[in-house]
Structure 1
Amino acid sequence: MREYRFLLTPQWLGWFGLAVLFATVCTFLGQWQLDRRAETVAAIRTVEANYDREPLPFTQAAGQFQQFDTGREWTPVQMTGRYLPQQSRVVRNRPLNGQPGFEVLVPFRTAAGPTVVIDRGWLPLGSNGEPAAVPAPPTGTVDVVARLKHPEGPVNRGAPPGQLASIDLGAYAAQIDGQLGAPMATGAYGALAAESPAPGTSPVAFPRPSVDEGPNLSYAMQWFAFGLLAFVGLGYAARQQAWVNRNGGLDDDEDIPAHLRSGALRKRPRRRTRRTAEDEEDALLDAAGWR
């Protein structure tokens, strides 16, 4: 192991420290990708468990609109009531299939009493930067099936009158406070699945949420592999340096492997292992003082 003592020099200790730092960063990024995958897998399981369930009666799901259990997201709820289109809002910056647009929120007063928010669907961006037209909801008594959705938080941007920057039900309720005659539920809202009677024109219906995990697991494995390769590369470089140290006295470049014939790895001075006749003669002359 003496030929590897160079590993204790400051230069090689520095390389080792850089490898440790690089591997630590790669491990952190890999774990971050695994955490993102875990969130995605949990969301997929929620979709698979709830999306195609039989709709719950509103009396069984009313509490979710007040205090939402995220494990119930996408659960269909059947309710009867009437829309309050005078207090409707459109939500800005809502892309669908890569196209910019809006979503339409309308309060819905249920026959059981509470008022909830229904997201009726998506509208494309018009030529003037506003929705081209906002289809009116059905009038009178309407039967609605909507899937439970968690509201969004506030965002750091404003919106013109009649619009919202996000599906922040608290901000929405503050805008229309006193106009509904009763408090609006802000724990959850419903993404429209069906309504009867159906209107002549409706916003674009929401597609089924994706159940694709995405590339997070692959990215995590790549980051872990990069961290491991840092030590593999350092070990390979140390092995080659030890080879150079051990074979520094080779007679010519033909004896050196091709991958070591670079200017970065300099060959040690040639070492003679046997004295020639000329060396013996020179030594005698020096001893006699004749040179």
Structure 2
Amino acid sequence: MTGKPALRSWFSPGLIGLHVFAIVAVVFCVVMGLWQAGAYDDRQHHEQADKRVVPTVAFESLWVAGDPFLTKFNHRPVTVDGEFAPADQQVWVSGKELDGRTGAWLLAPFMVDGTDDAVMVLRGWAPETGDLPDVPSGALTVDGVLEPGESADSGFDDTTRTIGSVRIPALINVMSFDLYSGFVISTDENLAAGLELVPPPQPDDVSWTVGLRNLAYALQWWVFGLFAAFMWWRMTVETARASERKVA
């Protein structure tokens, strides 16, 4: 009869060494898996830090007028030298939310030094559109974060200077100068004209595939640990049964 071996047979002198080896093997695999999982987490955190801690650069040295918006420009802190176009060239962008409230952004074209082109600067958010505020006069430097233009199509109302999205091709049609294909979210209270500053969006979340090799190694070690535990159980049962058959 081949039932379960008696518990005492699991602790026979011949199996003590097997138990010790199995415990060491399983613990080693678990620890190595945890170490690789920790390495995966570290890679994720470091990648997130690299995306969020980006040095500020001069706009003119980063982007040449006429060039397309590149991925590396996205969420990039910049300083832009130049001066604002006349206040009547500003535009309201409707349907923009801030802290759960719906209102509008105020965009102002900013003539970039050394070019004949302008970049739209987001000065701030208002609960509703209205008269266009004055713009700061003279040469100045804008501090902000660079973002790509929006793709949603929308019409422009010249009477209220209102548009439904920051769609650069649509804005070019109503400006007397060329525009860069992105815009700058100003982080300077002095340029907000009493409006609320719009917080720049955070960089995209890091892909889970960053450090994937470490994650695969962690899973591999844990599979080894499960296999070692299975082999320990199987060998112990078979050895114990063989021992009982000899006794019988």
Q: Structure 1-normalised TM-score?
A: 0.47
Q: Which residue of 1 is the match for residue 198 of structure 2?
A: 206
- Higher normalized contact order (CA 8 Å, seq sep 6+, divided by chain length): 2
Q: Which residue of 1 is the match for residue 88 of structure 2?
A: 86
Structure 1 47/97 Cα, relative in aligned 2: closer, same or farther at 3 Å?
farther
- Pairing 1:160-199 to 2, within 5 Å after superposition: 160-161=157-158, 162-176=161-175, 179-180=176-177, 183-185=178-180, 187-194=181-188, 198-199=190-191
Gapped regions of structure 2 (runs ≥ 5)? 1-44, 206-248
How many angstroms does 1:210 deviate by? 5.2
How many angstroms does 1:208 deviate by? 4.9
Q: Structure 2-normalised TM-score?
A: 0.55
SS at match of 2:157: coil
User: Residues 83 and 139 of structure 1 are in contact (CA less than 8 Å); yes or no, is this contact kept in structure 2?
Assistant: yes
User: Residues 92 and 159 of structure 1 are in contact (CA less than 8 Å); yes or no, is this contact kept in structure 2?
Assistant: no
In structure 2, distance between residues paired with 1:47 and 1:202: 33
User: Residues 147 and 190 of structure 1 are in contact (CA less than 8 Å); yes or no, is this contact kept in structure 2?
Assistant: yes
SS at match of 2:136: coil
Q: Which residue of 1 is the match for residue 106 of structure 2?
A: 104
SS at match of 1:66: coil
Aligned pair 1:69/2:70, yes or no? yes
SS at match of 1:146: strand
Moved over 6 A (4+): 44-47
SS at match of 2:195: coil
Alpha-carbon RMSD across the aligned residues, in angstroms, is 3.0
- The one-letter amino acid of 2:188's match is A
In structure 2, distance between residues paired with 1:200 and 1:98: 20
How many angstroms does 1:169 deviate by? 0.5
How many angstroms does 1:66 deviate by? 3.1
SS at match of 1:188: strand
- The one-letter amino acid of 1:166's match is S
Q: Which has more strand, going by share of residues?
A: 2
How many angstroms does 1:64 deviate by? 8.1
In structure 2, distance between residues paired with 1:45 and 1:71: 18
In structure 2, distance between residues paired with 1:45 and 1:91: 36
How many angstroms does 1:52 deviate by? 4.2
- The one-letter amino acid of 2:183's match is Y
User: Residues 134 and 203 of structure 1 are in contact (CA less than 8 Å); yes or no, is this contact kept in structure 2?
Assistant: no
- The one-letter amino acid of 2:137's match is T
Gapped regions of structure 1 (runs ≥ 5)? 1-43, 126-130, 214-291
How many angstroms does 1:137 deviate by? 2.5
Q: What per-residue deviation string (whole Å, max 9, x for no partner) do you get for residues 165-190 of structure 1? A: 111000000112xx23xx222x2111
Q: Which residue of 2 is the match for residue 122 of structure 1?
A: 125
How many angstroms does 1:121 deviate by? 1.7
Of structures 1 and 2, the larger Rg is shown by 1
SS at match of 1:63: coil
**Paired residues, what number?**
157
User: Residues 78 and 144 of structure 2 are in contact (CA less than 8 Å); yes or no, is this contact kept in structure 1?
Assistant: yes
Structure 1 96/77 Cα, relative in aligned 2: closer, same or farther at 3 Å?
same
In structure 1, distance between residues paired with 2:89 and 2:182: 18
In structure 2, distance between residues paired with 1:63 and 1:137: 25
How many angstroms does 1:58 deviate by? 2.3
Sequence identity (%): 20
User: Residues 121 and 186 of structure 2 are in contact (CA less than 8 Å); yes or no, is this contact kept in structure 1?
Assistant: yes
In structure 2, distance between residues paired with 1:204 and 1:81: 23
Structure 1 200/103 Cα, relative in aligned 2: closer, same or farther at 3 Å?
closer
In structure 2, distance between residues paired with 1:102 and 1:45: 36
User: Residues 135 and 203 of structure 1 are in contact (CA less than 8 Å); yes or no, is this contact kept in structure 2?
Assistant: no
